[in-house]
């Protein structure tokens, strides 16, 4: 299984909002992102769904994930 296939599987969260946001980033930006952002995205996928939802959908600010969350949100509008 390729890295992208594994990541796509990990993006399946059971919450439509998260599924859409995470897959939009994976499809549009992940491959061309620098390795640091790729690592941040992978670390983000380790979070529990309620916290991840707060970060991505509810503007909860966590300095550790600020850059990748901004990239995910930007991928939804571009």
* Greatest pairwise CA separation for the chain in angstroms: 33
The fold of 3-77 is: DNA polymerase; domain 1 (1.10.150)
Cα-Cα end-to-end distance for the chain: 29
> Which of the 8 DSSP states describes residue 29?
I
Print pLDDT tens along the chain (78 aa). 799 999 999 999 989 999 999 999 999 999 999 999 999 999 999 999 999 999 999 988 899 999 999 999 999 997
The model's pTM is 0.92
Distance separating alpha carbons of residues 57 and 35, to the nearest angstrom:
24
Closest CA to 43 of 2, 16, 14, 72: 72
């Amino acid at each position: 299984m390729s890295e992208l296939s594994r990541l796509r599987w990990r993006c399946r969260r059971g919450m439509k909002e998260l599924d859409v946001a995470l897959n939009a980033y994976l499809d549009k930006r992940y491959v061309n992102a620098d390795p640091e952002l790729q690592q941040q995205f992978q670390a983000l996928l380790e979070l529990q769904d309620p916290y991840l939802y707060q970060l991505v959908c509810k503007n909860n600010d966590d300095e550790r994930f600020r850059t990748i969350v901004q990239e995910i949100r930007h991928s939804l509008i571009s």
